[in-house]
């Protein structure tokens, strides 16, 4: 009787294992089939076109939307992507737990830079010459065990020079040369002259919009409470996110550099993305809707009107170059 | 079945001695449970940064903080898990609850979505499961193993555990690269590995029969009285003291990358190197500990860790430094992690085994948590070199203190 029970117990156990494995296989196969259908769903018409990462279709294929809303899946797989003047930067996984920034010029890979952490922001300057990114690094944030901090890299394709961390630049905080060790930089946007740039400095509980000079390797604060800046194509305005919306979530603002006037983007509450200028009047950004996947919206840069949904289950918006 | 296998020896109540050199089947089965569970949890750990940043578009900084706090807080749950399993004489049942809790969280992840409170809560439940199951599982390993093979048994268990920890990120990478980056399948497959682990535990692992002996009662008082045992008290203090001088792996790797001057990509490979050395060395060092003295090997492991800190001062640089340091770091784990439990098991009577082991584990975990916060504060205010020197001094003081504290009578 006992022998029978022992044998039976093993049969039940093995059966349970087979059932669990079968369920997993069925679920994964169903999901993969479903995502193949999602990859070709049309999006909204975008006047000047849109490049994005397809999160719904799976595998993060870089896809485009044209002026008629037609969606074309590409072959490149990235976690973050940005394209300008024929240069594409693609932040992607290279090994389990390891990431790289792959740089493509006219479709050909010209450089790949190993990244020290999980990618979060990617940009290419308007000329296509300067590529930048931000990653989260584990172990760098000292107070929380397992906490994260950020590292920002800038690659100059003309000279091949690579800045692995902005921490090596000289920093001036509100007029005072800075000596602090624990600083985080993120979200770079480079100006038309391929030398000036804007970024975010976070230290303690404060964030600043900073303006830097790549040749002089210097940076100085511009104003407080601004993150992930993005410079407009006409170089007159900077879009950034700022805490202060409902429950201290982020909200997008556009700052007029000449007048210092800040305009709120309605309906952008809860955004956590570096906005991208599709042209001088339109901003695109990704935002997660409650319980869902990120969705890409466009918004009038003058703050008029509500955001318009462009593509569901997609992130990393940028203009088509 | 061989006739010989049905005759039970006194030392190993559940396993027969077909081949005397083998560790008990229960240990291998518990190793399998840990292997499957570690694949599951490391799949999620590897996916979490991508999930939070790309699928949920949340700030990872917040979540990292929550995670650290929960890990520290739920270390105390080990005491609860240990006490309950001794009290009800059913280590396996408590372990099933712990493993089951962690398995269930894998299905809850997609449901809480982009809420840092929700995600933090799910992580807390996962850690709570880990806290609950660790002491009864280690007690089970020790209860089915003859005393002279404890080091080997724990070594085999930790080897299998680490194999799972290495396979998890590989599974996530393969899924993300070849099939999908959608979160559903990753959480589902992670849940399935955890469920397979629970099934192995429920259907294949057997709770060793423990006789209730009058007079040997399991009460909170009896548990607390364990610390009146000289060996137990000194072991707990020693493990805590050394834990206070231990800086977390993440700091070691970041410092090592800076000192060695190698490419930041190596940051991703360093934990793999440590884990590989750990899994290769855990069983041989466990065997060695059985012969040479478990406490001696545990102590030697911390001397190896002191070596790691000394190397962080950069006597040489480059890939050679990374390889030597990472290998030494893996040896530290192999010489200490299972060996401490093997040593602890010899100091606690059977009816209080889980409680006793949980006291040692909790002391060590809390000390390490306190140390990583302290080292964090150091690094925020001081230069790297100074912080490393302070860590070296702390480890040297701890080693000297522990050497003086532990007398020969508890050295085995």
- Interchain CB distance below 8 Å, B56 and A94: no
Report the pLDDT value the prediction gives residue A181, as an integer from 0 to 100: 60
Report the pLDDT value the prediction gives residue B406, as an integer from 0 to 100: 78
Measure the CA–CA gap between A50 and A68, rounded to whole angstroms: 11
State phi, psi for A29 to the nearest 5 degrees: -60, -45
Nearest chain B residue to A99, by CA: B265
Q: Are B205 and B93 in contact (CB under 8 A)?
A: no
Helix (H) or strand (E) holding A137: strand A130-138
Q: What pLDDT, in 10s, does the model give residues A165-206?
A: 898 899 998 888 877 666 788 999 999 999 999 999 987 678
B172 vs A138, more confident: B172
- Interchain CB distance below 8 Å, A140 and B254: yes
Q: Starting from the edge strand earliest in sequence, which strands make up the sheet with A314-318, in order?
A: A71-77, A61-65, A50-54, A314-318
Report the pLDDT value the prediction gives residue B18, as an integer from 0 to 100: 45
Which of B61, B114, B184 lies closest to A147 in CB terms? B61
Mean pLDDT of A54-78: 86
Query: Given CB atoms, is A317 within the 8 Å cutoff of chain B?
Result: no
A117: tokens are 């952490």
Name every chain A residue with its beta carbon within 8 A of the beta carbon of B269.
95, 98
Mean pLDDT of A144-150: 56
Nearest chain B residue to A20, by CA: B192
B54 vs A209, more confident: A209
Which of A31, A114, A120 lies closest to B180 in CB terms? A31
- Interchain CB distance below 8 Å, B54 and A164: no
Q: Is the pLDDT of residue A141 over 70?
A: no
* Choice among A271-285, A292-306, B54-68 with the minimum mean pLDDT: B54-68
Contacts of B337 (CB under 8 A, 6+ apart): B154, B158, B278, B282
Nearest chain B residue to A17, by CA: B196
Report the pLDDT value the prediction gives residue B20, as an integer from 0 to 100: 52
Give, in degrees to the nearest 5, the angle at Cα B192 between B191 and B194. 65
Rounded to a whole number, what is the distance in Å from the CA of A52 to chain B's nearest CA?
Answer: 13
* Choice among A225-229, B214-218, B257-261, B316-320 with the minimum mean pLDDT: B214-218
Report the pLDDT value the prediction gives residue B106, as an integer from 0 to 100: 94
Q: Is the pLDDT of residue B1 over 50?
A: no
Rounded to a whole number, what is the distance in Å from the CA of B53 to chain A's nearest CA?
Answer: 7
* Choice among A178-182, A278-282, B172-176, B362-366 with the minimum mean pLDDT: A178-182
Average pLDDT over chain A, rounded to whole?
87
Reported as a pLDDT band with limits 50, 70 and 90, residue B182 is confident
Q: What percent of chain B has pLDDT over 70?
A: 87
Q: Is the pLDDT of residue A145 over 70?
A: no
Q: Is the pLDDT of residue B150 over 50?
A: yes
Measure the CA–CA gap between B166 and B354, rounded to whole angstroms: 28
Q: Is the pLDDT of residue A288 over 90?
A: no
Report the pLDDT value the prediction gives residue A47, as an integer from 0 to 100: 76
State phi, psi for B125 to the nearest 5 degrees: -65, -40
Report the pLDDT value the prediction gives residue B136, as an integer from 0 to 100: 95
* Choice among A112-116, B3-7, B73-77, B324-328 with the minimum mean pLDDT: B3-7
Report the pLDDT value the prediction gives residue B69, as an integer from 0 to 100: 65
- Interchain CB distance below 8 Å, B55 and A55: yes
Strand A218-224 to A170-173 pairing? parallel
Mean pLDDT of B344-373: 90
- Interchain CB distance below 8 Å, A115 and B265: yes
Query: Given CB atoms, is A19 within the 8 Å cutoff of chain B?
Result: no
Name every chain B residue with its beta carbon within 8 A of the beta carbon of A164.
264
Query: Which range has highest mean pLDDT (A27-36, B4-13, B313-322)?
Result: B313-322
ipTM exceeding 0.85? no
Please, which residues bridge with residue A118 across strands? A136
Report the pLDDT value the prediction gives residue B210, as an integer from 0 to 100: 72
Name every chain A residue with its beta carbon within 8 A of the beta carbon of B53.
118-120, 136
Q: What pLDDT, in 10s, does the model give residues B89-140?
A: 889 999 999 999 999 999 998 888 777 778 888 888 998 999 999 999 999 9
Rounded to a whole number, what is the distance in Å from the CA of A231 to chain B's nearest CA?
Answer: 21
Average pLDDT over chain B, rounded to whole?
86
Mean pLDDT of B302-308: 97
Q: What percent of chain B has pLDDT over 90?
A: 55
pTM over 0.90: no
């Amino acid at each position: 009787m006992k022998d029978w029970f022992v044998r039976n117990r093993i049969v039940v156990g093995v059966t349970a294992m087979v059932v669990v494995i079968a369920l997993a296989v069925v679920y994964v196969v169903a999901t993969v089939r479903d995502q193949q259908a999602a990859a070709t769903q049309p999006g909204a018409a975008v006047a000047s076109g849109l490049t994005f990462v397809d999160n719904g279709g799976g595998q993060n294929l870089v896809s485009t939307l044209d002026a008629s809303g037609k969606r074309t899946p590409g072959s490149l797989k990235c976690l973050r992507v940005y394209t300008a003047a024929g240069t594409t930067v693609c932040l992607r996984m290279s090994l389990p737990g390891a990431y790289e920034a792959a740089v493509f010029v006219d479709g050909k890979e010209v450089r790949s830079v190993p990244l020290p952490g999980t990618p979060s922001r990617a940009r290419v300057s308007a000329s296509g010459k300067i590529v930048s990114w931000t990653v989260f690094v584990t172990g760098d944030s000292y107070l929380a065990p397992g906490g994260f901090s950020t590292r920002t890299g800038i690659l100059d394709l003309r000279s091949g020079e690579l800045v692995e961390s902005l921490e090596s630049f000289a920093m001036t905080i509100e007029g005072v040369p800075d000596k602090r060790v624990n600083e985080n930089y993120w979200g770079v946007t480079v100006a038309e002259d391929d030398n000036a740039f804007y970024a975010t400095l976070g230290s303690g509980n404060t964030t600043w919009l900073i303006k830097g000079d790549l040749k002089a390797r210097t940076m100085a604060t511009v104003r407080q409470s601004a993150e992930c800046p993005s410079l407009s194509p006409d170089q007159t305005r900077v879009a950034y996110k700022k805490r202060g919306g409902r429950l201290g979530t982020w909200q997008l603002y556009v700052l007029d550099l000449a007048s210092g006037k800040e305009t709120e983007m309605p309906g952008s509450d809860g955004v956590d993305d570096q906005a991208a200028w599709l042209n001088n009047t339109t901003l695109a950004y990704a935002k997660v809707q409650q319980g869902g996947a990120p969705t890409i919206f466009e918004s009038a840069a003058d703050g008029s009107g509500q955001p318009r949904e462009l593509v569901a289950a997609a992130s990393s918006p940028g203009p088509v170059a | 079945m061989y006739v010989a296998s049905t005759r039970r020896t006194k030392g190993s109540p559940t396993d027969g001695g077909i081949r005397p050199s083998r560790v008990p089947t229960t240990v291998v089965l518990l190793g399998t449970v840990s292997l499957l569970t570690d694949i599951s949890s490391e799949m999620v750990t590897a996916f979490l940064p991508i999930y939070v940043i790309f699928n949920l578009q949340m700030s990872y900084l917040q979540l990292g903080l929550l995670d650290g706090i929960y890990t520290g807080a739920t270390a105390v749950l080990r005491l609860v898990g240990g006490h309950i399993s001794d009290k009800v004489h059913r280590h396996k049942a408590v372990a099933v609850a712990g493993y089951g809790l962690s398995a269930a969280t894998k299905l809850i992840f997609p449901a809480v979505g982009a809420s840092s409170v929700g995600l933090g809560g799910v992580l807390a439940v996962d850690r709570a499961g880990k806290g609950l199951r660790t002491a009864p599982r280690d007690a089970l390993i020790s209860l089915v193993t003859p005393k002279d093979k404890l080091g080997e048994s724990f070594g085999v268990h930790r080897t299998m555990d680490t194999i799972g920890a290495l396979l998890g990120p590989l599974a996530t990478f393969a899924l993300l690269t070849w099939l999908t980056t959608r979160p559903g399948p990753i959480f589902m497959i992670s849940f399935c590995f955890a469920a397979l682990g629970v099934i192995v535990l429920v259907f294949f692992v057997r709770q060793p029969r423990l006789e209730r002996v009058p007079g040997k009662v399991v009460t909170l008082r009896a548990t607390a009285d364990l610390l009146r045992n000289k060996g137990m008290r000194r072991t707990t203090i020693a493990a805590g003291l050394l834990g206070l001088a231990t800086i977390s792996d993440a700091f070691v790797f970041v410092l090592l990358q800076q000192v060695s001057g190698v490419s930041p990509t190596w940051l991703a490979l360093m934990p793999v190197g440590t884990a590989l050395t750990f899994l290769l060395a855990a069983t041989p060092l466990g065997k060695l500990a059985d012969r040479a003295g478990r406490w001696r090997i545990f102590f030697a492991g911390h001397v190896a860790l002191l070596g790691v800190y000394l190397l962080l001062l950069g006597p040489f640089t480059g890939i050679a430094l990374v390889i030597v340091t990472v290998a030494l770091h893996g040896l530290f784990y192999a010489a200490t992690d299972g060996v401490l439990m093997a040593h602890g098991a010899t100091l606690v009577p059977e009816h209080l085994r889980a409680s006793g082991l949980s006291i040692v584990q909790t002391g060590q975990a809390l000390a390490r948590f306190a140390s990583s916060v302290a080292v964090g504060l150091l690094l925020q205010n001081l230069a790297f070199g100074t912080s490393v020197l302070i860590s070296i001094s702390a480890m040297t003081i701890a080693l000297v203190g522990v050497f003086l504290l532990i007398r020969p009578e508890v050295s085995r």
